[in-house]
Amino acid sequence: MATQTTKRSSKKDHNGTAEDRTAEICRTAAQIICEKGFDATSMNDIAVAVNLTKAGLYYYTTGKQDLLYRIINYAMSLVEKNVIERCSDIQNPKERLDQIIRNHVVLVAEGGGPIAILSDEVNCLPKAQRREVIRRKRGYLEFVRQTLRDLESEGLLQDLDPDIASLNLFATVLGVARWYRQDGAMSSQEVADEIAKFLCDGLLRE
C-alpha cells in the first residue's frame, strides 16, 4: 500500500487525500467482505458502497485480492499508530501492558472490527505478500513479548511462557472484533476495562 499511496498522495478528491480515500475504501470493503464473505463480494458491491464507478475503484486497487492485501496492511498501520507508537515510551512495563491492551481493544471496538477480522485472512494472499504481512505482525507480537519479558525480569509475570502469553493476548483482543457491537450496551472503554482486567489478572502476579 505504501508505495502506491505515496505515488498518489499529491492527488486529492472531494473527500480529502487519496490516502484518506484508500483508508475509507479499506474500511467499507472490510465491512462488506465480513458480511457477505470474500468470495461472494464483488468489486461492484464495493464500488457502489464507496460511491465510485467500478472503473473509479480500479484507480485505487488492481482487484479484490490486492484490496485484501491493502486492508491487512491498513489494519497493521492502525495497530502500529494506535498501539505501538502510543505505548513504546511507557517505561513501567505494567503500565505499558495495560495501555497496549486498552488502546488495542478501543481500536478494534471503535470500528476496527471488520479490519481486525480480515487481518487474520493472510492465507488468501500470495506468498510474497503473506511474508510481508507476517513480518509486520511479528513486529507487534515482539513488542508485546518484550513487555512481558520486562515484566518477567522484574518478577511480575505469572509463571507463563512470554511467547505464548503474547499470542493469547493477541487472540483475546482480536476476538473482541467477533462479538462487540457498537450499538450494544457497552462502550468501547467499558470493554477495554473488562479485557484489561481479565488479561492483567491472567498475566501478572498479585
Question: For binding to a copy of itself (CB under 8 A), which residues are involved?
Answer: 34-40, 120-121, 123-125, 158-161, 164-165, 167-168, 170-172, 174-176, 178-179, 191, 194-195, 197-199, 201-203, 206
Under DSSP, the state recorded for 78 is: H
**N- to C-terminal Cα separation, the chain:** 44
Q: Which is nearer to a copy of itself, 26 or 191 (CB)?
A: 191
169 near 199, Cβ under 8 Å? yes
- Nearest approach in angstroms of CB 179 to a copy of itself is 5
- Nearest approach in angstroms of CB 52 to a copy of itself is 22
Q: Which is nearer to a copy of itself, 8 or 149 (CB)?
A: 149
- Nearest approach in angstroms of CB 196 to a copy of itself is 11
Q: Which is nearer to a copy of itself, 88 or 187 (CB)?
A: 187
- Nearest approach in angstroms of CB 184 to a copy of itself is 11
Q: Where are the alpha helices (DSSP H) in 42-126?
A: 43-49, 54-57, 64-79, 85-87, 93-107, 113-118
Q: Which is nearer to a copy of itself, 82 or 129 (CB)?
A: 129
137-142 long-range contacts, CB within 8 A, separation 24+: 137/76, 139/80, 139/84, 140/76, 140/79, 140/80, 140/83, 140/84, 140/170, 141/166, 141/167, 141/170
| CA proximity to 125, closest of 75, 192, 189, 54 | 75
Phi, psi for residue 16 in degrees, rounded to 5: 120, -155
- Nearest approach in angstroms of CB 124 to a copy of itself is 3
Q: Which is nearer to a copy of itself, 19 or 152 (CB)?
A: 152
Q: Is the Cα dihedral 57, 59, 64, 66 positive or negative? A: negative
What CA–CA distance (Å, rounded) separates 35 from 28?
11
- Nearest approach in angstroms of CB 161 to a copy of itself is 6
What CA–CA distance (Å, rounded) separates 67 from 69?
5
Q: Which is nearer to a copy of itself, 131 or 197 (CB)?
A: 197
